[in-house]
Amino acid sequence: MEVEVATVYPGYQDDQFEEDGVKHFVIGQPRWPYIFFHCRKRDLDRCIGLVRERDPDIVHIHGTERFYGLMAARNLIPTPCVISLQGLLGPYLPTFFGALSVGDLWRSHTLLELATMRGLFGLHRGFVRAARQEREILIGAESFIGRTDWDRAHVRCSNSKAKYYHVGEVLRQTFRVLRWDVAQCERHSVIFTNAGEPRRGTEVLLRAMLTVRREFPDAKLRLAGQIGTRRGYDCFLRRRVVESGLSKTVEFLGYLDGSAMARELCRAHVFAISSYVENSPNSLCEAMQVGLPCVATYTGGIPSLVEHERTGLLFPTGDAALLADMILRIFRDDDLACRLSWAARAEASQRHAPQRVISQLLNAYNDVIANCQEAYHGQNGQESYHAPTVLRS
């Protein structure tokens, strides 16, 4: 199998290189604010030209967030194409600002961000534009890969004729090697590895920790993610921690690579995810893979990953009191923690098993290619041969 990978990204120059037998093509863009969601005709034409030049057997587009899917939706390339669903911007929009009040929203911006329409307001504007583009992709494309009941439902709602393939994801090796142990973890510590946006519900988790500390004054909350000191929302979060009296409770871990993340997961007592909406967050899957007891919001695709009371504990969106209660249950009951840990690790090990995912993916590729050839045969009345499956995205 020959694999080629192409990407368009602002702030990079055109480049081409090969690493580990994979050819990479970088189509550069200028470093403009929020160009990430924009679709410039020039960039779309260059992607079309690259596909025609490389002439692959199949094109696999990752995500509906950017413009790549327009190649399939507008029938701009002659190549069989399938689109993976990561997040879905349209369904994310209603909870983009989480539960922030109007006053909180203004306090979440610096003067420079307000003057240049950046910060959360600017990012929301980009989401709105990209959601319209995403809608066209969902309606016009023919084949999608997803992982949850939630993303499948949204595909069906937009395009009832689309083919949907369930294909899992392979997690990094380090999360399969390390394993959580209640006897080795740091007691009464909670970790959330996806903080940094209002829809992630970090404020909900902070309110829950106030309740948790009443019974366990030594409780700790560790937040991983790009929470710096320059963005308005990052500064707002840090002020909220201080104003809540949680300065000695909350630790900001910053960016962590895979190995460091796995070690932090094994170090914690509970993993919590308080997002207002998610599809299939890798952060949750990684925590389940190492066997860390998980508490998660009952939203989006999360119920497809976590079975309440068996592989984790679920709570309603925005309910800080119930989130606190779930965390306290695990803190108090080692038998419950170990039972959730064992079941979560077993479930994740099966769901993310490399050979299983590879089989699912190749079956999807072969079916997409076969369907395309059938359509060609029907239109032309001629025989066509089944080419080997080759991924070049």
- Domain-wise residue ranges, the chain: 4-168+361-379, 173-351
Chain Cα centroid distance, residue 206: 22
Q: What is the DSSP letter of 338?
A: H
Domain 4-168+361-379 shares a fold with domain 173-351: yes
Tokens coding 122: 């600017």
Judge whether 179 and 329 are in contact, CB under 8 Å.
Answer: no
Q: Give pLDDT, residue 285.
A: 97
Q: Give pLDDT, residue 55.
A: 92
What beta strand segments (E) does 193-302 contain?
A: 220-224, 250-254, 270-273, 294-297
pTM of the model: 0.90
Q: Give pLDDT, residue 158.
A: 96
CA atoms within 13 A on the CB side of 45: 3
Q: Give pLDDT, residue 91.
A: 95
Residues in the chain: 393
Gap between the Cα atoms of 234 and 261, Å rounded: 21
Answer yes or no: CATH 3.30.300.20 is held by domain 173-351: no
Closest CA to 390 of 21, 60, 56: 56
**Which CATH number is associated with domain 4-168+361-379?**
3.40.50
Q: How many Cβ atoms are within 10 Å of 10's Cβ, its own excluded? A: 15
Q: Give pLDDT, residue 375.
A: 63
The SS3 call for residue 237 is helix
Closest CA to 174 of 253, 260, 256, 255: 260
The conformational region for residue 61 under phi > 0 = left, psi -120 to 50 = alpha, else beta, is beta
Tokens coding 361: 């993916």
Q: What is the DSSP letter of 270?
A: E
Q: Give pLDDT, residue 228.
A: 85
User: Which residues have C-beta within 8 Å of that of residue 285, sequence separation ≥ 6?
Assistant: 169, 171, 305, 348, 351, 352
Low-confidence ranges of the chain (pLDDT < 70): 32-36, 374-393
Q: Give pLDDT, residue 57.
A: 94
Our CA angle for 223, 225, 229, nearest 5°, is 90
User: Which residues have C-beta within 8 Å of that of residue 49, sequence separation ≥ 6?
Assistant: none
Q: Give pLDDT, residue 376.
A: 55
Q: Give pLDDT, residue 194.
A: 85
Q: Give pLDDT, residue 229.
A: 87
Judge whether 306 and 327 are in contact, CB under 8 Å.
Answer: no
Closest CA to 83 of 182, 173, 181, 158: 158
